[in-house]
Structure 1
Amino acid sequence: MKPIARQSILTTLSSYLGVVIGYFNVLWLLPYALEPEQIGIFRTIQDMALLFVPFAQLGVGNGITRFYPKVKSSQFSFFTLSLLLSLFGFLVVAVLFFFFKDTLISAFATNSPEVIDFFGVVLFITLFSVLNTILDAFCRSFLKVAVPAFFREVILRLLVAILIAFYLLRWVSFDIFMWGLALTYFIALLGMIIYMIRVDLFKLNFRFSDFPVGFLKEFINYNLITLLGTTGAILIMKIDSLMVSSLIGLDANAIYTIAFSIAVVIEMPRRAISQVIMPVVAEHFEKNELSEINKLYKQVAVHQLLICLLLFLGIWSSIDSLYHFVPNNQVYEVGKWVVLWIGLGKLSDVLFSINGEIIVFSKYYVFNITATLIMCVAVIILNLVLIPLMDIEGAALASFLAMFLFNFVKYIYVKNRLNFDPFSMDILKIIFLGIITFTIQYYLFQNRELGISDIILRSLVVILVYLGGIFLLNIAKESRESIIKKIKRTGS
């Protein structure tokens, strides 16, 4: 577990450094430099491109992680095959994009016609992102996730900050600014290629005859099936933004973007843990070590809920003060309740642990089709019903309900098929501790003046009460004892 822990820590550090930069970009730089309508275009183009990525990738990212243990001796032929498949997938998506271009235009023509001018940017971002996910997945198979995370979470956000600064200084027009967004993704991809070349992980080998008999067919079939599961998760993340732009307008999407960006930080530890845990789960399934997977299932549930709930409490307790610092906050603070619903949705992801990863790498991966179909129907219907009724809050509530339903269906399936269960008494203790912690800070700081001192005081109380509660309620006892032992060894 030491390599896992080390890579998780480094990846988490990159994630939170990226969060700091991202918060600066989204909560201050974007609202300061761009009009709400321009922010809406910026977010809509990004989300559309990233929604296309799993389709273009053809599920190859998960396939690399699952099948790498079987083809270690032909790893660079496997790498080359994966790149070629993803390029083919992108070509298919590009053809379909042009074929259905008129349909896309009609979807945005009424409320967000400006988006139509930047459809070319969508395709370039999709291409560079698809290739980057393949490189990322290959690095992950070697448990090298820290540097890819640094490029994904830090470098890309820094490049976006520089791009926004160029527009703010009037060095580029808004049209060039939007095309520059595609350039930032290309630079991040180039950085990944240079890194992989330096650590001898980027080599092309076209000797596909080295693969075992029947491997190619099995690999492609698996990719196409898991493609649906991957698109399901992305659809929940991105469809709400696109539907807000389409059904309400770009200004509303700008408000939604700010709120979503505040809430998304809650899931950062889960994403970091998932990146590292996926190859481990795949390896355990390969060796039929089911008890080890169930153990991981429970451990991850407790540890990521501990961290992510603390983040949620810190954000929601200081939500008014956070909006206080956003330029033109009178425009954007109406999205406060979006933060709550998206935050609760992220916590539902955390609560159900690694159920998605377990399904993807088990022999029951075909179930992803069923789970994804349920989710896709649910998220679209919920958005169509709730957005007209509740505006952007309806989109956020739809996302929460869809995420919870998606996770609950997967939990029931894993429980019935593999008899794995992530829940323990520690989970109940953590939820109880979260309620107590929020209640205490709420009554201590009612009607307090907004600002940095409010954020600091609330955060200190939340952290102290939460950490004290962990010891009093004896939560995650084994992990705490292990940390204490390491501290004692370091000090002796």
Structure 2
Amino acid sequence: MSKIAQQSIQTTIFSYCGVVLGYINVLWLYPYALDATELGTFRTIQDLGLLMVPFAQLGVGHGITRFFPKLEQNQSAFLSYSLVFSLLGFVAVSGIFFGFQQQLVALFAVNSPEVINFLGIVLLITLFALLNSVLDAYSRSYLKVAIPTFFREVFLRLLTSILIGTYLLGWIDFEQVMQGLVAVYGLTLFGVLTYLIWLGKIHLDFNWNHFPAGFRSSFIRFSLITFLATAASTLIMKIDSIMVSSMVSLEANAIYSIAFYMALVVELPRRAISQVAMPVIADHFAKNQIPAINGLYRQISNRQLYICLLLFALIWCNIDSIYHFVPNREIYQAGKWVVFYIALGKIFDVAFSVNSEILVFSAYYRFNLVLTIAMSILIIGVNYWLIPVFGIEGAAIGSATVMLAFNLVKYFYLKIKLGLDPFSRESFKILLVGMTAFTGMFLSSEAIAPMLLMVVKSLLIVSVFAGMSWLLGVGSEEWSWIKARLKKSGP
């Protein structure tokens, strides 16, 4: 775990730098520079493009992570093989996209007709994001996570800020903004590619005859089996936004997107830790080290839950103050409870730790496929039921409910099949500490400026959280790490 914590620290720093920049973009720049319809269009086109990435990738990302440890040489040939395989997937997805273009147009024609004008941009976003995801998986196999994270979390958002800023200054029109999205994803891909070339990890090698016997067939079989699970998982993440646009309006999607992004901060530690954990889990399975996997499973659960509960408390207790600084907050504050339900769903996800990653790299990866497809179908059905009744809050409630059900099934399956369990007495102590941190929500005063109130509440929440942690003896690993870093920074 110490190796993973050490590897993930740079990734976490870049992730949170991206969060700060993302907050500036989503909570101020976007709603200030774009009207609600333009913002809804902007987010819907991005979500459509990113939604198709896992379908085009054909599971290559997980395939690289699983099979990379089996290669002692020919890594460059493996990368070229993976890229060609995923490009074939892109060709297939493009064919389906053009074949069902009329149905796609009909989906948005009534409530969000503005989206139709920019559907041509979707595939270009898909192509660049697809190639970037393959290079990211390849880099991750070398445990080179931080720089690709920088390009994905920071560089991409910085370019987007510049793009929207030029629109705000009146130098380009909205159509050029949408076209500029293609350049943003293209430059991000170029950055990751340049980094890997600089590391000396990329060489043109199309000699695929020197792989171990049965390697290619096993890689393709595993990738094709897992791609549907990956695609369905992305569908679960992105379908809410698209369904809100098609069933309600682009303005509703703008409100939902801002709220969703606020809640997304809660799971950032999971994203940083799991990226480094995946190759370690794959290596443990290759060596049949089940007890080591269980230790990792439990330790990641505790660490994620401890950090994420604090983030949840800070966000929810300060939610009104946060919305105060959003331009046109009278429009966007309607998404307040979306933040709560989405964040709650993220807490469910982080508490159950890296169960999806364990399933993917275990002998039971086919179960993950069946389960994820079932969950994606369920979330669509739940959204069709709840959105007409509760609007955007219905989409958020559906997402949280499905996330809980999804993780419960995986939890019991791993417990029965492999004897793995992420929970312990420590888990319940962490839950208790996290619940006490929410006492900050009872502190409120209209006489205090929103910024000052946010500072006071945050200090109270952190103080209560730290005090209860000390009383119950939890979070010792995290506090020990902080003390060690403070000693190093001292004289």
Give the structure-1-normalised TM-score.
0.97
1:208 is paired with a residue whose SS is: coil
Question: d(CA) in 2 for partners of 1:28 and 1:226?
Answer: 38
Question: d(CA) in 2 for partners of 1:181 and 1:284?
Answer: 40
Q: Note the C-alpha offset of 1:144.
A: 0.4
Question: d(CA) in 1 for partners of 2:441 and 2:227?
Answer: 44
Match of residue 242 from structure 2: 242
1:126 is paired with a residue whose SS is: helix
Match of residue 40 from structure 2: 40
CA contact (8 A) 1:320 1:450 kept: no
Q: Which residues of structure 1 form unaligned runs of 5+? A: none
1:73 is paired with a residue whose SS is: coil
Q: Note the C-alpha offset of 1:4.
A: 2.5
Does residue 107 (structure 1) correspond to residue 126 (structure 2)? The answer is no
Q: Note the C-alpha offset of 1:489.
A: 7.8
Alignment of 1:429-444 (within 5 A): 429-439=429-439, 441-444=440-443
Question: d(CA) in 1 for partners of 2:28 and 2:340?
Answer: 20
Alignment of 1:128-147 (within 5 A): 128-147=128-147
Question: d(CA) in 1 for partners of 2:20 and 2:379?
Answer: 30
Question: d(CA) in 1 for partners of 2:408 and 2:324?
Answer: 36
Does residue 116 (structure 1) correspond to residue 120 (structure 2)? The answer is no
Match of residue 71 from structure 2: 71
Does residue 13 (structure 1) correspond to residue 44 (structure 2)? The answer is no
Question: d(CA) in 2 for partners of 1:210 and 1:467?
Answer: 56
Question: d(CA) in 2 for partners of 1:490 and 1:21?
Answer: 26
Give CA-to-partner distance per residue, 1:53-73, whole Å, 9 cap, x none: 000010100110000011131
Label 1:247 to 1:290 Cα distance change in 2 as closer, same or farther (>3 A): same
Question: d(CA) in 1 for partners of 2:437 and 2:168?
Answer: 41
Label 1:116 to 1:21 Cα distance change in 2 as closer, same or farther (>3 A): same
Q: Note the C-alpha offset of 1:300.
A: 0.2
Question: d(CA) in 2 for partners of 1:280 and 1:490?
Answer: 30
Alignment of 1:441-456 (within 5 A): 441-445=440-444, 449=448, 451-456=450-455
Percent identity between the two aligned chains: 52
Label 1:77 to 1:467 Cα distance change in 2 as closer, same or farther (>3 A): same
Supply the AA of the counterpart residue of 2:109: A
1:422 is paired with a residue whose SS is: coil
Match of residue 291 from structure 1: 291
Question: d(CA) in 1 for partners of 2:90 and 2:28?
Answer: 34
Match of residue 398 from structure 1: 398
CA contact (8 A) 1:3 1:143 kept: no
Supply the AA of the counterpart residue of 1:22: G
Q: For this pair of structures, how many residues does the alignment match?
A: 491
Question: d(CA) in 1 for partners of 2:423 and 2:21?
Answer: 34
Match of residue 165 from structure 1: 165
Question: d(CA) in 1 for partners of 2:289 and 2:449?
Answer: 52
Give CA-to-partner distance per residue, 1:82-109, whole Å, 9 cap, x none: 1111111111101100001011011001
Question: d(CA) in 2 for partners of 1:203 and 1:413?
Answer: 42
Q: Which residues of structure 2 form unaligned runs of 5+? A: none
Cα-Cα RMSD: 1.5
Give the structure-2-normalised TM-score.
0.97
Label 1:385 to 1:76 Cα distance change in 2 as closer, same or farther (>3 A): same
Supply the AA of the counterpart residue of 1:460: L
CA contact (8 A) 2:414 2:420 kept: yes
Give CA-to-partner distance per residue, 1:91-144, whole Å, 9 cap, x none: 110110000101101100100111011111110000000000010000100100
CA contact (8 A) 1:323 1:329 kept: yes
Match of residue 175 from structure 1: 175
Q: Note the C-alpha offset of 1:470.
A: 1.2
Give CA-to-partner distance per residue, 1:275-298, whole Å, 9 cap, x none: 000000001111111110000000
Q: Note the C-alpha offset of 1:180.
A: 0.2
Question: d(CA) in 1 for partners of 2:155 and 2:94?
Answer: 27
Match of residue 469 from structure 1: 468
Farther off after superposition, 429-438 or 18-27: 429-438
1:72 is paired with a residue whose SS is: coil
Match of residue 388 from structure 1: 388
Question: d(CA) in 1 for partners of 2:488 and 2:322?
Answer: 40
CA contact (8 A) 2:310 2:437 kept: no
Alignment of 1:230-379 (within 5 A): 230-379=230-379
Match of residue 210 from structure 1: 210
Match of residue 423 from structure 2: 423
Q: Note the C-alpha offset of 1:476.
A: 3.8
Label 1:248 to 1:113 Cα distance change in 2 as closer, same or farther (>3 A): same
Label 1:331 to 1:482 Cα distance change in 2 as closer, same or farther (>3 A): closer
Q: Note the C-alpha offset of 1:230.
A: 1.0
1:278 is paired with a residue whose SS is: helix
Farther off after superposition, 441-450 or 332-341: 441-450
Question: d(CA) in 2 for partners of 1:484 and 1:155?
Answer: 31
Q: Note the C-alpha offset of 1:483.
A: 5.9
